[in-house]
Amino acid sequence: MLMVANWKMNMSRETIVSYLDALSREGRWARWCAHGYRLVLSPPLVYLDFLMHELQARELPFWVVAQNMCAHEKGAYTGEVSADMLRDLGLSGVILGHSERRRLFGETDAHVAAKTALALTRDLVPIVCFGETEEDRSAKNHAKVWERQIAPVWKEVQKARASGSETPVYFAYEPVWAIGTGRTAALDDIREVAWTLRESFGHDCASGLLYGGSVNDESLSMLVEKGTVYGFLVGGAFLDPEVVLRSFDRLLLHP
Ligand code: PGA
């Protein structure tokens, strides 16, 4: 089970240090990892290297993933960061197609698919976000939106599999109406997502389903269902390390 902390555009070197100090008080991380409960931290790009070093120094077994990367391999793309650079830092993966990137920075389904393909060639685990808006849901178009967003990505995953890639791919269902609003999806909604992915793209696609959108240590326990949810992508709540610790305590009550 993956618990991804998406810090978005928050934190500083100072707050990262106190965050890790707080998490280091807990001595069971290695044991939890051995049981498949993994904390994944996703800091802003400028702090990736710093975070990697701090984790190493404290021997904390967390994965680190970027919040985005460029769809191009290298060259004249001012302000962008490449898959090779993320590899060079020793990162585990990258979040792709977050709704904030789609909505605020014009990322299309085709961009997200191209980035996924590139990530897989570099053995970076893609965590691909998808999800409908409130309007899509009221118009009962939500399942169509999921399929439209995932189809081009899944095609690239199939191609990568055919060329021998075994890098896992996770899909994070993040309904736009649930992000940062305090409203989480219901477990039934997530079951519908899992069912749709299985029906449209097969078991392999649905098996790495994560949920994100106003998750915290309390809502988490209502949404854990083995076989449906493989983990969570958490924004605001996981800026507080105490919430991370409480969430792991709760998760472990649902083995
Ligand atoms: P939230 O954000 O937990 O603050 O709703 C989740 C996300 O956007 O990944």
> Cα–Cα distance between 93 and 57 in angstroms, integer?
21
Here the CATH number for the domain that contains residue 173 is 3.20.20.70
Which atom from ligand 1 is nearest to the alpha carbon of 214? 5
Pocket mutation for ligand 1, best pick of 174, 211, 240, 247 (most atoms within 8 Å of C-beta): 174
Supply the pLDDT for residue 55. 97
Residue nearest to atom 3 of ligand 1 (CA): 235
Please indicate whether residue 215, judged by its CB atom, sits closer than 6 Å to ligand 1: yes
Q: Is 180 helix (H, G, I), strand (E, B) or coil?
A: coil
Active site positions, annotated: 98, 174
For the chain, report the end-to-end CA distance as a whole number of angstroms. 10
User: What's the pTM?
Assistant: 0.97
Supply the pLDDT for residue 48. 98
169-178 average pLDDT score: 98
> Cα–Cα distance between 175 and 189 in angstroms, integer?
10
Q: Is the pLDDT of residue 173 over 80?
A: yes
Total domains present in the chain: 1
Please indicate whether residue 182, judged by its CB atom, sits closer than 6 Å to ligand 1: no
For 102-160, the pLDDT digits (tens) are 999 999 999 999 999 999 999 999 999 999 999 999 999 999 999 999 999 999 999 99
Neighbours of 80 (CB within 10 A): 15
- SS3 letters for 135-167? HHHHCCCHHHHHHHHHHHHHHHHHHHHHCCCCC
For 72-110, the pLDDT digits (tens) are 999 999 999 999 999 999 999 999 999 999 999 999 999
Tell me the backbone φ, ψ of residue 52, rounded to 5 degrees: -60, -45
199-216 average pLDDT score: 96
Q: Identify the bridge partners of residue 231 per DSSP, sorted by sequence position.
A: 2, 210
**Among 159, 101, 156, which Cα is nearest to 130's?**
101
Supply the pLDDT for residue 135. 97
Yes or no: say if 216 and 225 are a contact pair by the CB < 8 Å rule. Answer: no
Sequence-distant (≥ 6) Cβ neighbours of residue 184 within 8 angstroms: 178, 213, 214, 215, 219, 222, 223
Supply the pLDDT for residue 18. 98
Give the up-direction half-sphere exposure of residue 243: CA atoms within 13 A in the CB hemisphere. Answer: 18
Supply the pLDDT for residue 225. 84
> Cα–Cα distance between 100 and 199 in angstroms, integer?
28
| Least trusted range by pLDDT, from 62-71, 127-136, 191-200, 222-231 | 222-231
Domain that holds residue 109: 2-253
Supply the pLDDT for residue 226. 81
**Among 58, 238, 224, which Cα is nearest to 246's?**
238
For 15-45, the pLDDT digits (tens) are 999 999 999 999 999 989 998 999 999 999 9
Please indicate whether residue 212, judged by its CB atom, sits closer than 6 Å to ligand 1: yes
Q: Identify the bridge partners of residue 172 per DSSP, sorted by sequence position.
A: 129, 210
Q: Identify the bridge partners of residue 129 per DSSP, sorted by sequence position.
A: 172
Supply the pLDDT for residue 255. 58
DSSP H helices in the chain: 13-24, 29-34, 48-58, 83-88, 99-105, 109-121, 134-138, 142-162, 187-201, 203-206, 217-223, 241-251
Mean pLDDT of the chain: 96
Q: Is the pLDDT of residue 242 over 70?
A: yes
